[in-house]
Structure 1
Amino acid sequence: MLKRFLLYFLVQSFVVCVFAGEKPNVIVVLADDIGTGDISHYRSIHSSNIILETPNIDKLAQSGTVFTQAHAPAALCAPSRYGIMTGNSCYRSPFPWGVWGSYQQSPIKDEDLTLGRLMTQAGYNTAFFGKWHLGGDYYRKDQPGVIYRGDRSKPQTDVDISKIIDGPNQKGFAYSFAYPAGIQAVPYAAYENGAIYPYSDKPVEIGYISQENMSKIGVKLDKLEGLGDLNWDPRNAGPLLAAKGVEYIRTHANKEKPFFMYYCSQAVHLPHNPPAELNGIKIAGTTPSAHMDMIKELDVQMGMLMDELKKQGVYENTVFIFTSDNGGLHVNRKTLESGHQPSDIYRGSKNDMHEGGHRVPFIVSWPAGFKARQESDQLVLGLDIAATLAEITGVAIPEHQAMDSYSLLPVLKNKKSLKRDFVMLQSGTQKQLIIIENEWKLIIQVDRKDKTDKTRKPIALFNLKENPSELESGNLINNPNQQEKIKRLFKKYNETRMNGIRTGS
């Protein structure tokens, strides 16, 4: 911990000298289900066969540093979102495999540091936009003032969804425009500062969102039926979100206090219902599949945010971080036939233990502070956003907070390596644990019947330098020459987790 504070003060002295104390605005974008192969800049590293261009995200990449070995904390969104929000590995959560329902208790406690609380301490106006997916509290319909908890395996109708009692505004964000579970689950509604918000030009009308009614507008629900605004149409979610983001930049740029936006796009999670157009650009039906239309929509959203920053004259002094909550989607037929590969050269997809499940794009741009057109093969995690922002803005992270977050500023400024020896992450519903040290990746299977997650065994070892695609023929788990390495990595994972120490140190 002493070394961490010494590094903090050295970096801050450098930042203050160079930028004379002027803090940058900050935008962190968390895309939904975007793999490295979905971004044309990343895809071009391994192939000249680019099926879908993402010109705005590519411009962001060209203006900053592209990390080629970046990982989400988990191969599934909810646990990843906990990790990114707090800087803690998923296993430190009371719900280590994720919070899946909007009506479930949040894993984030009042004493936990969040990105919102961190940036509030740094003197920022703070705002959350988009998919929350970290649980929340709503009152019961039949018992006002009593928090609803129910069985999420069936439609829930006895919830007062008019107001979020515990959500982004209670976790450190002064402003929020949120979809509690994105576009895929209840409540099917938008919220501004916790109050249900008119989803269209019609007044809010709370009711039951059924598949029968959604079919009438050509939409297939991804999850269960349930309560929402009867004007709900997922095709409008992205345009509304982007418009709110642009409005926030316009009203908060060039103010006495800088702003921090945590922008969690709804794209490209199912259901894939792209808008007809966004920002004057046609979207629906302009690519080989609705899935790829959504990737295009995401890129246009990024262009809208970047254009407004430039219009307000603050683009140069804005830190812009772009990443994803997990790897890309399992491709549908039309996407597959087009030749587009969401996971690029990597095996697996969202939810999987292989690289395609958790390897993600990670781009950091700050034109006034970092060199352009940089590339790093440093092993990084979405967890690192918290410590990086703390270093940039001059906030010391308290002990026992953001336990597994490492500042990327040494890499971004001086091309130095992080003092991290390994990373630990996890898959999704199949409950695998992962430790990566240098080029070696050990995959550990948790006994799914063991609720304590303590019954584990190694099931795969890959050399990612020699076998980046994790071909099963290169699985070295039974190789007699690698048994000591397997034992050592397995022991390192177990001891790190058991002792509660900082991951990677």
Structure 2
Amino acid sequence: MRSFAIGLSLLVMILANNAVYGQLHQAKNVKRPNIIVFLVDDMGWMDTSEPFGDRPYPLNNTYHTPNMEKLAAQGMKFTNAYATPVCTPSRVSMLTGMNAAHHGVTHWTSIHKDTPSDHQDSIFHRVEWNYNGFSPIGGIPHTATATPLPQLLQDAGYFTVHVGKAHWGAQGTPGANPLNLGFMVNVAGNAIGHPQSYYGKDNYGNIPGKFTFNAVQGLAEYYGTDTFLTEALTQEAIKCIEPAVEAGKPFYLHLAHYAVHDPIQGDPRFVQKYLARGLNPREAKYASMVEGMDKSLGDLIQYLEDQGLAENTVILFMSDNGGLSLGYARGGEPHTQNYPLKAGKGSVYEGGIRVPMIVAWPGVTEPGSSSAQPVIIEDFFPSILEIADIHASDLTQKIDGKSFAPILKNEDSRHSERLLIWHSPHRWIMDAGPGINFFSAARQGNWKLIYDHRQQKLELYDLSKDISEQHNVILKHKKIARSLSRQLTDQLKKWGATMPTYRINQERVPWPEESDN
């Protein structure tokens, strides 16, 4: 049974915004679309039965995601969509429209305030970065300050709801609480980056004597039940938007699943069929988590259809970084879980940053369409504002993202010369894989440049011919490499990005264009 008290309190909050909403719509007799961001954690480009490559690959046959297939049939699939190598930078970029090298949250944030999450290194000093995350309020040390997207949507009359993983700021800072960022409702979102447990029987980690900071809060009604965390969040998301639906007000739902981040725990609803197929037990659990996420998407789509909302609701599906591929965390050979992409989460190679993305905008986007235009996660900020017909001014930050709304409208908006940038001047883990720990990268057109800070080495790949980044062609295309290294350097300097310094002599690592290579 729906909670009448919760529904009434949410409705009161909606009505409190009627004055703003009414003023806007007296001037513009436009019904704004509902907007749903469906954000998945650590989902790789290949973790789906909906192919994002030029053809289906073997890994596509591993997973069962019929609702992603349905969403792709209803909207547009982006085959060259990018996030950052790890989660918090992506999440901050989505809410601010800034590239991670610009906002300075270049690694995931610790739960604890004033505690850098990147590891000490024997060769490099730790760089200066915004390790407390994002804040809408200035003057807080080691935070990025910007006007958050949810606040702009709320100001325009949207009922704004966050459900699931937040991970925008450290505990004790404003960014840790979604209610400080323009969300009117928050369920289960705070400073944590992953759940202690996905199982309702474990109270999602809230067990006396076994509690850690990663215990998921705000879901007490599911404690002791068989409800998997992904399912609980889905049910809560639907509950939270119902008052807005009943009041006829537009809503913005930011449903950010903890899945499929570790701990890899099998979803009991689906895991057995993957075990029966002979999958590695750990991979079977992972595949079941993917399918549970897909069921959530399907349940949400079904709710919209049942309520007659589907034709006026835009759904944006995205992952916050590439799929996990570390040997201790996944089954099988390390760094093969995203094949044909190279490496995985934490890496600036394609496996760490290229992610599945689908946008369905009914009546605007051509059903079953696809775009190869490279886009990046900071593009969500201007795109959502354009979808909502909001013309924001007086922003704290300068926006780096470009709206992909014209692409959704089937307009000719190719940006062949656009430069996409990744900057990760950190040591994440000791047993690193390819492209992890102290790397920068840039993509322009089909050309991809990698800069290894440790070796001061540049690599160049033609992604149109070598999506697996196996053939470094820098010796054949030195002019292109010089151009990309110069552009990457210029932009990093413009944004005030930091490079590591050597412990032995305190000298800075050369910028990409200064590399002897």
Q: What interval of TM-score do these two structures reach, taking the shorter chain for normalisation?
A: 0.7 to 0.9
Give the Cα–Cα distance (whole angstroms) in 2 for the partners of residues 331 and 409 of structure 1.
Answer: 35
Which of 434, 444, 448 in structure 2 is aligned with 1:441?
A: 448
CA distance in 1, matches of 2:341, 2:414: 24
What amino acid maps onto 1:171 in structure 2? L
Matched, 1:92 2:116: no
Give the 3 Å change call, closer, same or farther, for CA 343–118 of structure 1 in structure 2.
Answer: farther
Please give the secondary structure, in 2, of the residue aligned with 1:126.
strand
| 1:318 aligned partner | 313
The residue type equivalent to 2:384 in the other structure is L
Q: Post-superposition shift, 1:409?
A: 1.3
Q: Is residue 121 of structure 1 aligned with residue 117 of structure 2?
A: no
Pairwise CA distance, 1:260 = 0.1
Once the two structures are overlaid, the 10-residue window that deviates more, 53-62 or 254-263, is 254-263
Q: Aligned-pair RMSD on alpha carbons?
A: 3.5
1:326-405 pair list within 5 angstroms: 326-330=321-325, 342-398=337-393, 401=397, 403-405=399-401
**Sequence identity (%):** 26
1:60 aligns with 2:59: no
* Aligned counterparts of 2:168 and 2:381: Cα–Cα separation in 1: 17
Correspondence 1:108 to 2:138: no
Distance verdict in 2 for CA 1:116–1:206, change over 3 Å: farther
**Deviation per CA, 1:247-290, whole angstroms, max 9, x where unpaired?**
123332253420001111111111112332xxxxx223232310
The whole-number CA distance in structure 2 between the counterparts of 1:165 and 1:381 is 22
SS of the equivalent of 2:297 reads helix
Aligned-pair distance for 1:446?
Answer: 3.4
Alpha carbons of structure 1 residues 228 and 425: separation in structure 2 relative to 1, 3 Å: closer
Q: CA deviation at 1:375?
A: 0.5
CA distance in 2, matches of 1:323, 1:120: 22
Name the CA distance, whole Å, in 2 between partners of 1:234 and 1:500.
Answer: 48
Given that 2:205 and 2:214 are in contact with CA atoms closer than 8 Å, whether structure 1 keeps it comes out as: no
Q: 1:185: how far off?
A: 5.6
Q: In structure 1, the residue corresponding to 2:492 is in which secondary structure?
A: helix
Structure 1 residue 99: deviation in Å? 1.2
Cα offsets for 1:283-332 (capped at 9, x unmatched): 23232310111001110111111111111110111000001001112177
SS at the partner of 1:180? coil
C-alpha deviation, 1:345, in angstroms: 1.8
Check conservation: 1:75, 1:350, Cα contact below 8 A.
yes
1:209 paired to 2:183: no
In 1: Cα distance, 2:270 partner to 2:458 partner: 43
Classify the secondary structure of the residue corresponding to 1:469.
Answer: coil
Taking a change above 3 Å as real, the CA distance of residues 268 and 259 of structure 1, as seen in their structure-2 partners, is same
Report Cα offsets for 1:78-127 as digits up to 9, x if no partner: 21111122111112234322313254533223251222112113220001
One-letter amino acid matched to 2:147: L
Q: Which amino acid aligns with 2:44?
A: G
Is the contact made by 1:94 and 1:107 (CA closer than 8 Å) also made in structure 2?
no
Matches within 5 A, 1:280-291: 282-287=269-274, 288=279, 289-291=284-286
> C-alpha deviations, 1:223-257, integer Å up to 9, x for none?
x7877779699973212111101212333225342
1:172 is displaced (CA, Å) by 1.1
Contact 1:33–1:326, Cα closer than 8 Å, also in 2: yes
Per-residue CA shift, 1:342-366, capped at 9, x if unaligned? 5242111111121011000111001
Taking the aligned partners of 1:250 and 1:98, their CA distance within structure 2 comes to 33
Counterpart code for 2:85: A
Shift of 1:53: 2.0
Indicate the residue corresponding to 2:17 in structure 1.
none
- Using the size of structure 2 for normalisation, the TM-score is 0.73
- The alpha-carbon deviation at position 499 of structure 1 amounts to 2.1
1:462, distance to aligned residue in structure 2 (A): 0.7
Cα distance in 2 between the residues matched to 1:313 and 1:243:
18
Q: Which segments of 5 or more consecutive residues in structure 1 lack a partner in the other structure? A: 1-15, 139-146, 148-163, 191-198, 211-223, 277-281, 448-455
Relative distance call for 1:165 and 1:442 in structure 2 (3 A) is: closer
Alignment check: 8 A CA contact 2:79 2:370 kept: yes
Aligned partner of 1:263 among 250, 255, 280: 255
* Structure 2 portions without partners, runs of 5+: 1-24, 115-131, 138-144, 429-436, 497-517
Measured at CA, do residues 445 and 203 of structure 1 come closer, stay the same or move farther in structure 2, by a change above 3 Å?
closer
What is aligned with 1:469?
468
**Residue 462 of structure 2 is aligned to residue 460 of structure 1:** no
Q: Return the offset for 1:433.
A: 1.2
Give 1:128-277 correspondences, 5 Å limit.
128-138=162-172, 166-180=176-190, 184=194, 207-209=208-210, 236-276=228-268
3-state secondary structure, aligned to 1:38 = coil
CA distance in 1 between counterparts of 2:464 and 2:270 reads 38
8 Å contact 2:440–2:451 — kept in the other structure? yes
8 Å contact from structure 2 (residues 133, 168) kept in 1:
yes
Secondary structure of the corresponding residue to residue 29 of structure 1: strand
Match of 1:80 among 70, 82, 90: 90
CA 1:204–1:465 in structure 2 vs 1: closer, same or farther (change >3 Å)?
A: closer
Say whether the 8 Å CA contact 2:195–2:258 is kept in structure 1: no
Per the TM alignment, residue 166 of structure 1 is displaced from its structure 2 partner at its CA by 4.5
Q: Secondary structure at the match of 2:88?
A: helix
| CA shift for structure 1 position 51 | 2.3
Conservation of the 8 A alpha-carbon contact between 1:327 and 1:359: yes
| Count of equivalent residues | 419
1:414–1:364 distance in 2 versus 1, CA, 3 Å:
same
- Kindly indicate whether residue 48 of structure 2 is the aligned counterpart of residue 39 of structure 1: yes
User: Structure 1 336/417 Cα, relative in aligned 2: closer, same or farther at 3 Å?
Assistant: farther
1:304 aligned onto 2:287: no
Aligned to 2:482: 487
Matches of 2:69 and 2:204, distance apart in 1: 39
Residue deviations 1:37-64, cap 9 Å, x none? 1121125742264222200011001100
